[in-house]
Structure 1
Amino acid sequence: MSDKKPLRVLFCIGIQQNFFDSTSAEAKDVWTAFTAVMKGMGELPGARIIGNMDDDRIMVGASPNYPWTTYVLADMPDYDTVTAACNLFRTTPVGDGTYKMWKYARVEARIGRELEFPA
């Protein structure tokens, strides 16, 4: 019998220029959709959000790649669940649904394992 451990995943999220070009009303809709994405990640079967870190106060403007705007550290049961978490950016509607979250934010998942230290 194997003791299958969860995947340790760092979701690196960058806010796109489209967010900064949006109107105040559109930005509010993006924030509502972003909140739904974050909640959805935590509600995926077997997912456990460990924590997050946000650079928004010391980083100004879009982050097309590293350094990212915000990070979410999670344990995920398998690769398919990691994919489902990333897919939330493709499928979560913003406002009236004309656009999805990936117009405003991008995500890259880094998959590894928990670093264990000997006792």
Structure 2
Amino acid sequence: MIGTYKLARQHLGRFHFGEIAVSVEGISSGISNYENIAVKIEPDWEAKMGTIQDDFRESSIVGVRKFISAYPRDSWGKRFVVTKILATNIDTEDQALETVAFLACFNALFPTAPLPDLQYSVSGGWQVGG
């Protein structure tokens, strides 16, 4: 299962951007989902887009962990692999990328369900729910 999410919104005169793809695969039971999170950018993607910054990679992992915490039953026995990250130094904040990764995971596991609401606050940035 592959899920993607793209944030491309303007709020209070500022543009916010980030895009992530996550592959979700079944694994043997008995292994913690937190140990089964990886960032393996497809080589042709990284060759085309350039090296992905470490903080963007870490933000994507944090977003996947937040998803697993929010949906532990649905996440059990799954391996989450971030396969694409598209971000810019100007328009992408680490926190926003966490939310993008969360929504990419949601899209992978619940492809026909409507996405949770996305809201912005000055103090918290982009957040799921409300």
Larger RCO, structure (CA 8 Å, separation 6 or more): 1
Q: TM-score normalised to the size of structure 2?
A: 0.30
Q: TM-score normalised to the size of structure 1?
A: 0.32
Structure whose alpha-carbon radius of gyration is higher? 1
